[in-house]
Amino acid sequence: MVNSGSGQKPNGRLSRQQKGRIGEAEACRWLEENEYRILQRNWRCRSGEVDVIAAREELLIFVEVRSRSSAAAFGTPQESVNQRKMQQVRATAAVYIQLNGEHDRQIRFDVIGVMIDNAGNIGSVHHVENAF
């Protein structure tokens, strides 16, 4: 069966990319509802990408968003952030700070785990502050 370009798999399930986009949108919605201001989404440079860069009061927050449809097989979304990913996010954050003159701001690295069912419905959002 040929995929029509919708990103949906032939079995009707969402693709990994679709779940990722839904998870990031939900994470941003959650952050905004909790008085965070979204500064950037999917900010990229040579060292990598940061899913969300947000601010709250005087704090600059770099957020890694992870989406999963089942915690049973692979653990929670936030458990999937490994050492390599943490280093990549830190390096990318350093570039952002340098380019944007944010040297005097306090920073924090958070992880937001979003559980999504195969139809794209949000099951839960778990925000881990100071995750790494």
Q: Which of 19, 7, 1 is nearest to 118 (CA)?
A: 19
Structure tokens at 54: 């947000």
Q: Is residue 34 part of a domain?
A: yes
Mean pLDDT of 31-56: 98
pLDDT at 11: 57
Q: Is residue 83 part of a domain?
A: yes
Residue 72 has pLDDT above 60, yes or no: no
Residue with tokens 């990031």: 24
Q: Is residue 10 part of a domain?
A: no
* Sign of the alpha-carbon dihedral angle for 15, 16, 17, 18: positive
| Domain that residue 27 falls in | 16-128
Task: Tell me which DSSP letter residue 21 carries.
Answer: H
Q: Please state, in angstroms and rounded to a whole number, the distance separating the CA atoms of residues 109 and 116.
A: 23
Strands of 122-128's sheet in order across: 37-45, 48-56, 59-68, 106-116, 122-128
Number of domains observed in the structure of the chain: 1
Q: Is residue 4 part of a domain?
A: no
Q: Which of 12, 25, 84 is nearest to 51 (CA)?
A: 25
Under the banding of pLDDT at 50, 70 and 90, the label for residue 113 is very high
Q: Is residue 1 part of a domain?
A: no
Q: Is residue 68 part of a domain?
A: yes
pTM of the model: 0.85
Under the banding of pLDDT at 50, 70 and 90, the label for residue 3 is very low
